[in-house]
Amino acid sequence: MSPNKIIVTNSGALTKKYGAGVSKVQAAIAKLIKADATRGLITVMIALDNKNDMAAVGAGPVTKPTDPKQNKMAIDAVYNKYRPDYLMILGAVDVVPHQDLTNPLYSPATAAEDDPDPIVFSDLPYACSGAYGKKIAAFTNPTRVIGRLPDVTGGKDPNYLVTLINAASTFASRPSATYRTFFGVSAGVWTGSTTLSLSAAFGTSAGMKVVPPASSNWPQALLNAPSHFFNCHGAASSAQFYGQPASGADQYPVALDASYIAGKIKAGTVVAAECCYGAELYDPNVTGIHQGIPNQYLEDGAYGFFGSTTVAYGPSKTNDWADLLCQYFFESLLAGASAGRSVLQARQKYIANKNNLTGTDLKTLAQYILLGDPAVTPVASATLAPTAHRIMEKGAFVEAAPAVEASMQRSTRRQELIQNGLALGTSVSTSEIKSAERPGANIRKLLKNEAAKLGIGKPSFSSFAVQPAESLAAAKTLFFREGVAAKSVAFAKAVPLRELKAVHRAAGRTAEKNERSIGIVGVEIHEYNDGVTVHPFESR
């Protein structure tokens, strides 16, 4: 039978890190494969650098572990051969690298005032069928359930990775009500946004903690909650998240510290973090600081960590960008989806709810990754749907056994997700390419006025051209009913398609960039043929 779950890694890179200790990792993987079998999953491991493993999928081995293109091609070959329900990347970025996508918001000339990330480090392309490339817009068709179980970047102790593998082997699903108990933390300046996010994800924001006045020395009772949600500041190569007063003052007290929570996180915890660099897999040996927050959560037995590799965005009082992806992730998780499917459904819902993906949208979509085994299912699924499948046994069709039925229903869900993802890729327009065309006087005036409201002294300006969706590129008009009785089939006259003409951005810093806050604020103006919409944002 074909495998349901495939683990991909680079055996040479693991051996280089751990030497003879790699045998401990291999033994732990063998236990995971056995444990998956008891859950009805056929799991195999494929080494992307092994000639025989890769020959079996009709591709050459990865010869340069750090090469994103080689790894993308190899993983595509593995997936296309077996079409697994789950694909797990084993190892941090020094084993299997992130993909190196070009950040559409970055410009060397404006990096001091605007987005500082030249590259969006991403696992999104591994979830998509498109060929290797650096444009995010090529990966708006996610179809694969993927997650990364990371070791510590630059690490030398195989026991860390063994601990994570063992946690995936022994996971146990619990009722949805259990995971509706959450530990939610917000920077004071974003309480409006976080209140909406928690209410959307969990049905209430009661108990939300705000920093300041709350501190990072959280009592064990709060850390015991199985669901953790953070809307705080984050910074590159930092083992901390930070708050900010509701006044917007340039003060950033610690909201979460990896060294403080070490040993305090309960097994089975699931995390969504809106924070900048919240899921960055930095090398603590290079930085000289404690391992990152996601590494610490996973070491303590967390089932999954959903976060951003780079600067993330969201509004202060409403919801968009990072807010939405994190909400959608928990929405699926609480409904009984695996951690990996929760991410795929979150990505698809995010794309579906946008008629155009701006540079900010595209970066958000690319930067959020799952750290954890994608097959882990924290919330016990609802009772298996009534048996629908029949299989041939001894010349007659009989009802499928429960394990077989579950596998067949999972395969059906995957097919639906594949169809949905492919359709989304052709139905959404994108604004990834910067335009040399100067916006009109009214747009320029509006950008300056909105930037002034945000307290930006010297904003940087940029405009982006719109690439129409493939499926709508030929559309000239839309038809709709207006003032017609519900039972009537008559239509009003054709009206021009509401068309997005361009996206304009003004951004700057309200404070000097520091080690605790990126400090970017700004506004997007979406220019339509019949008006504009205004979308303020702040870096998380």
What would the two tokens of residue 184 be? 């939610």
Tell me the C-alpha distance between 195 and 187, whole Å: 11
Both tokens assigned to 467: 């690439």
Residues 171 and 138 in one domain: no
pLDDT at res. 387: 60
For the cut 80, the answer to whether the pLDDT of residue 497 exceeds it is no
Per the structure block, which two tokens stand in for 239?
A: 């083992």
pLDDT per residue as tens digits for the range 335-361: 999 999 999 999 999 999 998 999 999
Mean pLDDT in residue range 181-200: 98
Does any domain span residue 433? no
Mark whether 37 and 92 lie in a shared domain: yes
**What confidence score (pLDDT) does residue 485 get?**
43
- The answer to whether residue 254 sits within a structural domain is yes
In this prediction, residue 496 carries a pLDDT of: 57
What pLDDT is attached to residue 472? 63
Average pLDDT for 499-519: 87
Both tokens of residue 381?
């699924």
Reply yes or no: is the peptide bond before residue 374 cis, omega within 30 of 0: no
Shared domain check, 532 and 390:
no
Last residue of a domain, one of 90, 114, 149: 149
* Token pair recorded at residue 387: 């048996």
Higher confidence at residue 489 or residue 524?
524
Mean pLDDT of the chain: 92
| Residue 417 included in any domain | no
Structural domain total, the chain: 3
How many residues would you count in the chain? 540
| Nearest to 12, CA basis, from 2, 22, 3 | 22
Between 102 and 489, the more confident residue is: 102
Residue 220: helix, strand or coil by DSSP? helix
Q: Determine which of 42-56, 90-104, 238-252, 396-410 has the lowest per-residue pLDDT on average.
A: 396-410
What is the distance between the alpha carbons of residues 252 and 256, in angstroms, rounded to a whole number? 11
In which domain, by residue range, is 514 found?
441-539
* pLDDT value at residue 457: 82
Which amino acid would we find at residue 125?
A: P
In a domain, 425, yes or no: no
Pair 268, 142 in one domain = no
- Reported as a single tens digit per residue, the pLDDT across 411-430 is 888 899 999 999 999 999 99
Residues 42-81: pLDDT tens digits? Answer: 999 999 999 999 999 999 999 999 999 999 999 999 999 9
Q: Is 423 exposed, middle or buried (0-12, 13-18, 19+ CB in 10 A)?
A: middle
- Residue 370 pLDDT: 99
Residue 264 and residue 125 share a domain:
no
Predicted confidence (pLDDT) at residue 486 exceeds the cutoff of 60? no
408 located within any domain: no
Are residues 239 and 166 part of one domain? yes
Same domain, yes or no, for 220 and 323? yes
pLDDT tens by residue, 264-306: 999 999 999 999 999 999 999 999 999 999 999 999 999 999 9
Q: Output the six-digit token pair for 95.
A: 């084993």
**277 and 209 share one domain:** yes
Residue 108 has pLDDT above 60, yes or no: yes
From the number of C-beta atoms within 10 Å of its C-beta (0-12, 13-18, 19+), residue 482 rates as: exposed
Same domain? For 384 and 504 the reply is no
- The domain boundary, picked from 115, 149, 183, lies at 149
pLDDT at 490 over 60: no
Look up tokens 């494969």; give the residue. Answer: 33
Task: For residue 63, give the CATH number of its domain.
Answer: 3.40.50.10390
Both 202 and 90 in one domain: the answer is no
Q: Per the domain annotation, does 326 fall within a domain? A: yes
CATH of the domain at 261: 3.40.50.1460
Q: Do 501 and 398 fall within a single domain?
A: no
For the cut 90, the answer to whether the pLDDT of residue 214 exceeds it is yes
Last residue of a domain, one of 403, 423, 453: 403
Share of the chain above pLDDT 90, in %: 83
Confidence of residue 402 (pLDDT cuts 50, 70, 90): confident
Q: What is the pLDDT of residues 433-485, one digit of tens each?
A: 999 888 999 999 999 999 999 999 889 999 999 998 887 655 544 444 344 44
What is the predicted pLDDT for the residue at 386? 62
Same-domain pairing of 345 and 464: no
The reply to whether 195 falls in a domain is: yes
| Helical pair 11-18 and 22-38, crossing angle rounded to 10 deg | 130
Residue 421 resides in a domain: no
